[in-house]
Structure 1
């Protein structure tokens, strides 16, 4: 049963100086925080971030979700995800038995709410904001970047968490923490539990008519396709030997993996080596190694595909449109792993609706950024963007803002899912996966690629990033149309 903070917690307004008049104490208090315990240590959250607290134990399990997402909970008709902060921070936690009651803090970000499980909720403490000290890694068992500060009150030291940064928002800017969450999930799972149970989602058997394979394009590009695939395979045939011959390039690859979770492989090695040549010219007289996240960002800046994390330009949309082969199926299903905030999924839905007007479009858009996929269904467009090629697929709200039509919204299913685990989706016609494979660790990459190949129907295809290639010419056939390359199954 949920209870409001006022009914549940006793507000304390203690100060270090016992001789100060009570009225003066209250006047000096300008910050209140809810305190709680994790693994025997005292933590706190700004009370303004908290909607209420609850005691609950009946959570609905979500297949294939991260270990720290223990389920969803019905909060007076609103379904909210429940996150165990102990697991999120890699703090050992006893295994849950049955439906035992948990202490939950309901955190609110605008219209989105999250429930976080803690060991014990203590009270609300009023302090002076000037008493908040800078964080230090010795004050907690968690990454310092998630700590807002530390506070001493009544002989107790509280670690004040930065919940905005934990959930990916800070001062209106997005922090890219999704990769950190993936690392934490991987570390917190035992080896035997790395593969999640399949989902019980309904799968629809789409009517499937044979689609034309765009034979003119294949004839015009088969030679260049084989040459490119062969050269890529040759370049990637011996990564260990390449690293030995060019130790500096090996250091670059290690730095990219460490700071941005970008993994050099046969998927992107051709681009990475070319970029390394340019990097040496750019860094003349400076150190070539990737020493921090800023260096990694600078190295990877030219890597990302056109219109990445933004609305598609008409030029790029036209290029993708021209590359799409004919397909006369009544339903076209698409897998879009790494969908981010939804720019790509919405753009793809509009383009496919335009290219295949008689088909029902279904897009499974997945990402490990919980906040991004939660907010994607609410995405709006600016007026200047609404006048572009998207216009036929938009509608204006009563407040004057632009949003996508219900037809487009209903065609996309945004899901919180780690694609390195089991992928319980039906057979698809298209895998649209730009820049995703380069951020998949080597241990999981082959599994993901095999999943791509298995999920795609015989007449389907995959589209990867502008600087990625599917170099295995035994399984994939490269088809180029202008500046867009698609890969069909051999």
Structure 2
């Protein structure tokens, strides 16, 4: 293992040296006798974008060099069970354990069978705090271009989803497809974040102006498109509530609908008491977050307390089946899924547990199988389901890990899941567009067994969205057909 690391590090240094030389070549253009220095400086000034080029199945691709941390060659990745097909495993990059993705498999490009001990060409990428490696066929060089020469993608690039392509650019008679790895791996670009923030600020400003200037009759509660047809507290309050709903949709992608409208009405009433009259509307995303603070379920997106784990255990129905099939859309980083798996193991000790955990954040679902448990959590109710790792960290037993299949999937789209005994989808539906909410609820109806149950967020309901019955027990409400 030590020799392998030395070999890998040596090759990394060699390749990184070549990368540095390429960068230097574009950082300073040395004039020759045949060229005018003024013309050379002008060309240099035009280069405002650099990209690392590589090939996949004979086609030329590129990635913004600012997203590339380094390049490397490596092999013998550590296999991780229950991961996506294009996840080759994990790799020790000078002490950091990072996931490795095969970009060819991600784009459904045929890959030759790997030879034992062969090394792969890797681009080590960094997005925010996440570092990961992507495997490609051949890494070429660094190319400097004018950003203005990047053209929008064309649907002719049918072998790759156009939403993953930032643009195309021709350099020295070679056409490069510029990939947007932030979209591929579920993150937002800084420009997108700034654009959204500007739009939110403008929306909030316009909402204030409209609330003061528009005739009240034009914004009555009967016109409220978000589903508040039963609003009875007056036209002015109805208009304020409408702007709150619009702001939540813009700032936090929270859609007011029959799934949550009762909570929104109650929260709006308390919001009015908390705020001055001229501060009811949101002026920033912080206001929207403050408004939604009480919406989230206990331990949402975090490790469960014993009290909450016991409350879930209490509402799980009797089930003598040999296999319990569970759907957990919106699994996030996996802490909730592992917590649920432990409770299911306790509730149904003789059954085989199978959890399909879905999320649209590719890095989350790829890293979830590697999740470690902090010591302060491991010493609590999780203890029977944990084991020590070599580095003294805690991880879940193979029995728990093997019960979970983490998958990249958008729950707004149909899937081929088997029928389920339990659907666990806390604080998810409200953050989908209303049309997607309806599709997902219909999917719930199709996927759930006749004796199955659904657990949503503590402030979400299925009542009024079909023939669902509700049973509430503390902070947990269970829905059944």
**Normalised by the size of structure 1, how large is the TM-score?**
0.61
Question: Does the 8 A contact of 1:305 with 1:435 survive in 2?
Answer: yes
CA RMSD between the two structures: 4.7
**Normalised by the size of structure 2, how large is the TM-score?**
0.63
Q: Deviations over 1:110-162 (max 9, x none)?
A: 884236899x965278xxxxxxxxxxx999899xxxxxxxxxxxxxxxxx999
- How far apart, in 2, do the equivalents of 1:401 and 1:488 lie? 39
2:477 match: 485
Q: Deviations over 1:394-444 (max 9, x none)?
A: 011121111100000000000010011111110110000101110111122
Question: Does the 8 A contact of 1:49 with 1:107 survive in 2?
Answer: yes
- How far apart, in 1, do the equivalents of 2:243 and 2:151 lie? 30
Change (3 A) 1:84 1:76: closer
Structure with the bigger RCO (C-alpha within 8 Å, sep 6+) is: 1
Question: Does the 8 A contact of 1:337 with 1:432 survive in 2?
Answer: yes
Corresponding residue to 1:11 among 22, 36, 48 = 22
Corresponding residue to 1:259 among 251, 265, 270 = 251
Corresponding residue to 1:106 among 111, 115, 123 = 123
Number of residue pairs matched by the alignment: 358
Change (3 A) 1:76 1:438: closer
Corresponding residue to 1:364 among 353, 356, 364 = 356
TM-superposed deviation, 1:260: 1.1
Question: Does the 8 A contact of 1:309 with 1:340 survive in 2?
Answer: yes
Alignment of 1:270-349 (within 5 A): 270-349=262-341
Question: Does the 8 A contact of 1:255 with 1:291 survive in 2?
Answer: no
2:381 match: 389
Question: Does the 8 A contact of 1:253 with 1:264 survive in 2?
Answer: yes
- How far apart, in 2, do the equivalents of 1:272 and 1:81 lie? 44
- How far apart, in 2, do the equivalents of 1:257 and 1:45 lie? 32
> Helix, strand or coil for the counterpart of 2:65?
strand
Question: Does the 8 A contact of 2:463 with 2:469 survive in 1?
Answer: no
* 2:407 pairs with 1:415: yes
Alignment of 1:86-125 (within 5 A): 106-108=123-125, 112-114=132-134, 122-123=141-142
- How far apart, in 2, do the equivalents of 1:83 and 1:97 lie? 6
2:210 match: none
Alignment of 1:65-214 (within 5 A): 72=86, 80-82=101-103, 106-108=123-125, 112-114=132-134, 122-123=141-142, 167=185
Gaps of 5+ in 1: 20-31, 54-64, 66-70, 86-95, 126-136, 143-159, 171-175, 181-234
TM-superposed deviation, 1:480: 2.2
* 2:355 pairs with 1:353: no
Question: Does the 8 A contact of 1:236 with 1:265 survive in 2?
Answer: no
TM-superposed deviation, 1:371: 0.7
> Helix, strand or coil for the counterpart of 1:461?
strand
Change (3 A) 1:36 1:460: same
Question: Does the 8 A contact of 2:52 with 2:65 survive in 1?
Answer: yes
Question: Does the 8 A contact of 2:412 with 2:439 survive in 1?
Answer: yes
TM-superposed deviation, 1:99: 7.2
Question: Does the 8 A contact of 2:385 with 2:400 survive in 1?
Answer: yes
Change (3 A) 1:377 1:111: farther
By percentage of residues, which structure has more helix?
2
Change (3 A) 1:271 1:72: same
- How far apart, in 1, do the equivalents of 2:375 and 2:342 lie? 17
TM-superposed deviation, 1:288: 2.0
